[in-house]
Amino acid sequence: MAESKVEPPVKGRKPESHLGMVRRARKINRELAEVYPYAHPELDFENPFELLVATVLSAQTTDLRVNQTTPALFAKYPTPEDMAAAVPEELEEIIRPTGFFRAKARSLIGLSIALRDNFGGEVPGRLVDLVTLPGVGRKTANVVLGNVFGVPGITVDTHFGRLARRFGWTTDEDPVKVEATVAEIFPKSEWTMLSHRVVFHGRRICHARRPACGACPIAALCPSYGVGETDPEKAAKLLKYEKGGQPGQRLKPPADYPGEPAPPAGTVTVEVSG
Ligand code: SF4
């Protein structure tokens, strides 16, 4: 299914002014806040180092797979000092299920050495420092800043980029440009939670291949309504995670998460997307 380009909103089909788009974008954010009041990072972590490592591991795999892998990893290497001294082959073996395990092991050992040698063994709380760490780009840095340091950040992953284009917020494919454009639309205080809500929506309802338009609570605000399944009954069957009555991705979800925790490694898992 082709991804939609920017079109006028469904209602009226009139050309939309920039101000109209901004108002509609903010309304989408408010609606998503009601649909996902419990939106959160879907990686399990207990401190900044764990979130940094988990985010690096999450490239090209699901958060569920990472969450099933990190308990053993953090049991063996709980601190940057421990991970910096890891035998590469042993670390690779633990993270193998997340894919690209040799490159990821190099990044994890490299960033741990940098944390140990340049930052006193602590994860720095500034973007300019975080992006100097091996394997850490703007997306990873923003995840860490927003979720452990309270520094607002927009996290443009594959879901956020796709939905921002479907919502008509941008036509850009480049994540850095998407981030800059969306940052102009929303106040800074909204950036982190907006990111979680949009990613939640992309994983549960507005999927890459078959968006469940017929079961979408923001359909009236979306210019791309109709790129996916519009039949309500068929669309309801496409819903994922707690919206589809399935487990989530976190083994340790926050207390307000309405779904079931994800199954640990080695048990039967549900099919997940992103
Ligand atoms: S599911 Fe359909 S209507 Fe809902 S946001 Fe995605 S494209 Fe728009």
90 within some domain:
yes
Residue 269, pLDDT score: 54
Domain boundary among 105, 129, 148: 148
- Please give the structure tokens belonging to residue 63: 């958060």
4 within some domain:
no
Domain boundary among 131, 148, 165: 148
212 lines ligand 1 (CB under 6 A): yes
Mean pLDDT over the full length of the chain: 93
Residue 123 has pLDDT above 50, yes or no: yes
Burial 167-181 (b: 16+ CB within 10 A, else e): bbbbebeebeebbeb
Are 172 and 130 members of one domain?
Answer: no
Report how far ligand 1's centroid is from the alpha carbon of 221 (Å).
Answer: 9
Out of 3, 31, 200, 227, mutate this one to test ligand 1's pocket (max ligand atoms within 8 Å of CB): namely 227
211 lines ligand 1 (CB under 6 A): yes
136 within some domain:
yes
Are 53 and 185 members of one domain?
Answer: no
Q: Does residue 231 have an active-site annotation?
A: no
Are 22 and 53 members of one domain?
Answer: no
pTM summary value: 0.90
Are 184 and 223 members of one domain?
Answer: yes
pLDDT tens by residue, 168-201: 999 999 999 999 999 999 999 999 999 999 999 9
pLDDT tens by residue, 72-110: 999 999 999 999 999 999 999 999 999 999 999 999 999
Are 137 and 157 members of one domain?
Answer: no
Alpha helices, DSSP H, located in 85-130: 88-95, 101-118, 127-130
Residue 228 has pLDDT above 70, yes or no: yes
Q: Which of these is catalytic: 104, 157, 240, 243?
A: 157
Domain boundaries, position 173: 18-35+153-239
251 within some domain:
no
Contact present, 14 and 183 (Cβ < 8 Å): no
Q: Does residue 157 have an active-site annotation?
A: yes
Break the chain down into helix, strand, coil percent, rounded to 5. 50, 0, 50
